[in-house]
């Protein structure tokens, strides 16, 4: 998993509330267990018409936002079913951070396991960042995970809270497998001792 330290870039405005995981990645794309390749189907029913053509006024189809790495979202982002394909699709598209007033719990935790940073800020601060995002390439938002600060395009700083363990994992690029591999020497020592004590196992 890639480390997350700092990020500066264009943010896409998505002010809709209650964007659920079926909107993020519709159910017909859940057949794969691969994390890659889902970005093209991110927000599929909002991005494409019935013939598969791009809907030009959808935010991620607009030239300014095709390379967006940040989403500024409405309240309760990621609600609905617990599908992990939702953060997979966002990450595969290139989204590294999402800022909202609130997230569904399972989606929120799944973001960290996939190298994305979900940030909760008060409504008035999200509104400022939403206005920045609407300026497209004329405004860039910066995120510093170590100092836990989001900086708006005009330099306003908004501190955010994050669980220290989740912060450690993101800063060091550690998913569940990475965390386990940190203990590999202890695991090897235990297995060696256990095999001597119980050679029949």
CA atoms within 13 A on the CB side of 23: 12
Tokens of 194: 């256990």
Q: Is 0.85 topped by the overall pTM? A: yes
Q: Domain spanning 6-197 has what CATH number?
A: 3.20.19.10
Which pLDDT score, from 0 to 100, does residue 177 have?
A: 64
pLDDT of 199 above 80: no
Tokens 């020592």 belong to residue: 189
What whole-number percentage of the chain has pLDDT above 90? 76
Q: What is the mean pLDDT of residues 19-42?
A: 90
- Per residue in 4-27, pLDDT tens? 999 999 999 999 999 999 999 999
Q: Closest Cα to residue 163, out of 154, 152, 155, 171?
A: 171
Give first-to-last CA distance, the chain, whole Å. 34
Domain ranges of the chain: 6-197
Residues in the chain: 201
């Amino acid at each position: 998993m890639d480390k997350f330290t700092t990020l500066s870039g264009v943010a896409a405005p998505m002010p809709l509330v209650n964007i659920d995981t079926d909107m993020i990645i519709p159910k017909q794309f859940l057949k794969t267990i691969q994390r890659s390749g889902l970005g093209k189907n991110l927000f599929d029913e909002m991005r494409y018409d019935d013939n598969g053509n791009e809907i030009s006024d959808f935010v991620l189809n607009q030239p300014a936002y095709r390379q967006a790495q940040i989403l500024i979202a409405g309240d309760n982002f990621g609600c609905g079913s617990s599908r992990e394909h939702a953060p997979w699709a966002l990450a595969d598209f290139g989204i590294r951070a999402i800022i909202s007033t609130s997230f569904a719990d399972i989606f929120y935790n799944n973001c960290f396991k996939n190298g994305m940073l979900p940030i909760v800020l008060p409504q008035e601060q999200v509104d400022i960042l939403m206005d920045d995002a609407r300026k497209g390439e004329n405004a860039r938002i910066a995120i510093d995970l170590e100092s836990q600060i989001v900086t708006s395009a005009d330099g306003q700083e908004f501190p955010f809270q994050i669980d220290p363990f989740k912060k450690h994992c993101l800063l060091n690029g550690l998913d569940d497998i990475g965390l386990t591999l940190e203990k590999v020497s202890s695991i090897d020592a235990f297995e060696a001792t256990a095999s001597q004590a119980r050679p029949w196992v």
